[in-house]
Amino acid sequence: MLLAERFGRMARKVGDVTAGEVQFPPGEKSLQELGLVKAERVYTVDMNDSVLEALQMMQSNHISSVAIVDKTHGKHTQLQGSISMTDIKEILATRGGWRHLYDACFRFFAQLRNMQGLETGSDRVPLFTVHPSTPLIVAVEKMSATRTHRVWIVSEGSAAGGRSGDVVGVLELSDVMPILLAACE
């Protein structure tokens, strides 16, 4: 079985088997091939929407995070950041933090990440993203390395002038677990 090391790299040896000998065919397949790119599962807020609007969207859809996108170019949803219930909870815990509920999402995101970087060294900007063509194992390694349970799937663009960076899906550990369990059977 493939296991990630503490810092997100794949372990070279698991038991008496080297990583090169382990059979995990789904790990080599792209997120697209595995059917994990599902735009209908992505919830977004415009970068100028308020944090309160993002909170309402998360609550009404029973989700814990939304993508912050730039919707100034119509239907395109270029990823600018993300905001989660944990982020909001962290800010609300501070004195007068409720005032931030009226901030624009991107401003809130930038301030929070800046504060995290200054206070704890856990600045997570830039965002870690993957593409539909990314192999599953690479996406899992990214989640492990960044200590998160979700990565945003963004488009790669196209020769026909498509923009890269538009949100096309989200991959969460809960999406990966059934695949890992099926491979163990």
Kindly report, residue by residue over 124-161, the tens digit of the pLDDT.
445 678 999 999 999 999 888 888 889 999 988 644 44
Nearest to 77 by CA among 157, 16, 15, 168: 168
CATH of the domain at 19: 3.10.580.10
Nearest to 67 by CA among 54, 53, 82, 77: 82
Q: Rounded mean pLDDT of the chain? A: 78
Question: Is the residue at 111 inside a domain?
Answer: yes
Three-state secondary-structure class, residue 142: helix
What is the model's pLDDT at position 171? 94
pLDDT, tens only, 9-39: 555 444 454 555 556 677 888 999 999 998 8
Nearest to 32 by CA among 132, 134, 130, 169: 132
Domain that holds residue 101: 13-184
Residues of the chain with pLDDT > 70: what percent? 72
What is the model's pLDDT at position 135? 94
What's the whole-model pTM score?
Answer: 0.75
- Mean per-residue pLDDT for 62-73? 87
Three-state secondary-structure class, residue 64: coil
Question: Is the residue at 90 inside a domain?
Answer: yes
Question: Is the residue at 3 inside a domain?
Answer: no
Cβ atoms of 68 and 81 within 8 Å: the answer is: yes
Three-state secondary-structure class, residue 65: strand
What letter would DSSP give residue 62?
A: T
More confident residue, 127 or 4: 127
Question: Is the residue at 2 inside a domain?
Answer: no
Tokens representing 76 are 């395109």
Number of domains in the chain: 1
Q: Which helix (H) or strand (E) holds 27?
A: helix 25-28
Reported as a pLDDT band with limits 50, 70 and 90, residue 107 is confident
Question: Is the residue at 4 inside a domain?
Answer: no
Question: Is the residue at 37 inside a domain?
Answer: yes
Question: Is the residue at 89 inside a domain?
Answer: yes
| Separation between Cα atoms, residue 178 and residue 168, nearest integer Å | 21
Question: Is the residue at 7 inside a domain?
Answer: no
